[in-house]
Amino acid sequence: MKRVLISGANSGIGRATAIRLAAEGYTVFAGMRDVGKAAKVVEGAAAAGARVEPIALDVNDETSVRDAVAKIESDSGSVDILINNAGIALNAALEDVDIERGKEVFETNFWGIIRCTQAVLPGMRAQGSGHVMNISSVAGRIAAIGQLVYSASKWAVEAMSENLAQEMAPFGIRVSIIEPGVTRTAILPKNMGHPEPTEYTDAYRRMLQFYARGIVANTPAEEVAGVIHGAIEDPAPRLRYPCAWGGVELCEGRARLSDEAWVGLGACKSDEEYYAAFESCFGLDIRTPTG
């Protein structure tokens, strides 16, 4: 049975994916910085009639990553599927960015993926097969207002994934990019603030309204886990899999949208003008539902 390593598997999309794949018969290694927080993923898998193996994995620590992969390879064999899920968010317009905090976002969201992927690729190349799945975001396809650093980190993930897909093609190794929209996970409550005082209250208010509308849609992490499982089993593999609330609409809408129309969104004077323009561009009504 194929061996799967998932980073950030103690909560959210990572936990839901670990449980889903274990229930589907995969051998799942649930990576997390603190294995003392593994109870929910272990219990969830047991409730599904399956089991997962928690493993210490800090994507920001080269030694931790190498040790985790070495342990899997020694005990079970090479990793067949790597799911780079660990990630953190940060809200800030450019002028408000705390550069040191911004570096931490890239350390996890970008360099963490590179560390984990570098560690598994020799084994995948040796066996002539493998699958690297990078959890990006719709913010990797649009420049999310008020989220400059987070969005830039996910754009970097998209570019890295495109490069990697070409680099790995000669070795029979697949690369997939999962692009969730708003999903009900623990990252949302942690991501509702912004720097203050600030000159960019309009941008933050509109950004938070987008997420508030997505929260109302109530897309569970299990839905994204289903997309990940489907991508693994896809008989006609694609590079990108947009999903969850707003995923398809935002990715496809931005591809159609002119740069001038994109910039024009930022020039909207009132919130109502902005919400109407956003709906026209993407087919998503982000106003607060009434009635």
Beta strands in 123-228 (DSSP E): 130-135, 173-180
- Tell me, yes or no, whether 85 lies in a domain: yes
CA angle at 136 for the pair 272 and 61, rounded to the nearest 5°: 130
Residue 246: what are its φ and ψ, rounded to 5°?
A: 85, -5
Average of per-residue pLDDT across 141-159: 97
User: Which has the closest alpha carbon to 236: 174, 169, 178?
Assistant: 174
Give a yes or no: residue 212 inside a domain. Answer: no
Is residue 207 assigned to a domain?
no
Residue 291 lies inside a defined structural domain of this protein? no
- Give phi and psi for 208, each to the nearest 5: -70, -30
Domain assignment of residue 280, yes or no: no
* Catalytic center residues: 150
The pLDDT of residue 49 is above 60? yes
CA distance 140 to 150: 9
User: Quick one: average pLDDT of 46-52?
Assistant: 98
CATH number at residue 32: 3.40.50.720
Q: What is the reported pLDDT for 183?
A: 95
CA distance linking residue 291 with residue 286, whole number of Å = 15
User: How does the average pLDDT of the chain come out, rounded?
Assistant: 96
What does the alpha-carbon distance between residue 156 and residue 179 come to, in Å, rounded to a whole number? 13
Q: How many domains does the chain have?
A: 1
Q: Which helix (H) or strand (E) holds 226?
A: helix 221-233
| Residue 193 pLDDT level (bands cut at 50, 70, 90) | confident
Domain that residue 112 falls in: 3-188+219-257
b vs e for 152-165, b when ≥16 Cβ sit within 10 Å of the residue's Cβ?
bbbbbbbebbeebb
Nearest to 230, CA basis, from 157, 178, 184, 183: 178
- Which of these ranges, 3-12, 170-179, 192-201, has the smallest mean pLDDT? 192-201
- Whether 288 is in a domain gets the answer no
pLDDT in tens, 228-252: 999 999 999 999 999 999 999 999 9
- For residue 185, the model assigns a pLDDT of 77
pTM attached to this predicted model: 0.96
User: What pLDDT sits at residue 189?
Assistant: 56
